[in-house]
Structure 1
């Protein structure tokens, strides 16, 4: 199969609590060059999607803060993948990244930590307001979700409640995708009532 993004480097990049900017890419370090390898099938959905999420996050940073020159931190493969993240849908893009053995750390020539005030920047970029809501807010959380972690959603909902914000929290015994469908009996009437 044709190598669709050129040569990559091997590395790691943990992705943590994006709402507070914790550990998002702080460990990204360039590693020694190697060719991409196929990963074993059966990669959990959360794993394959994290690659896409990370590239979406970088694309958003690039768009929101062009002065950061995100491209200057990336290899040719990284720039290719970042450009693809502008137009690709998550499932097929994530599957393709995993099929080609892409590791996010492989896409960097320098660590993201080279960006001044990275933690503050990520908190401002990804953080959610904890007050100031003037309309009801519905949070539906899958208890098995590995994309939006349950403890952070519960913490966020508790803070909103303590701040007397108009929040409704519902949890479902499923993962990220399942929560969308499982929440419909709660979320559809919630939204319908907003427009009644």
Structure 2
């Protein structure tokens, strides 16, 4: 279970939100909603430990994430809004490197299957620098097909630049993860055909 208690976020000299509290249990999908600039991405960074809260605490399985980061990160998959790719490597090479860096042992054939599934069958051997924004996004999203063992998925705008078919496939993947006992926390401005009904957190209710 993910628990957030009395969380406050300071960005520069501006307090974005305070008093935010929630729990996310196995099988739940949480959509973080609110207008641009209210702190949706900042909240995801706090939840993943990439930023420090001004106040409050984030706990995973009852333990503050800062007290046992290794255990928390073994259960976490975070995909930010930006595509973290090496432009000189192919999608296959980038995906294999990302999996290895995260400690996930995935063979080349399995990585290739994930990239084909996400719609990159014709780009497997191209350098990432020639890919479109949507194609670059898909390389990162292919990790979702390889990370079922990580219980908490935190995703920032995962549907950006995807076509209708890819959106539907990704929504199914996220729903399947929840139905298998995983948890998903995401931001998105798009409607998606989730099989699991999302809870909605309106972060604007905590804005300062």
Same fold (TM over 0.5): no
| More strand, by proportion | 2
TM-score normalised to the size of structure 2? 0.28
TM-score normalised to the size of structure 1? 0.29
Greater RCO between the two (CA within 8 Å, min separation 6)?
Answer: 2
Whichever of the two has the greater Rg, that structure is 1
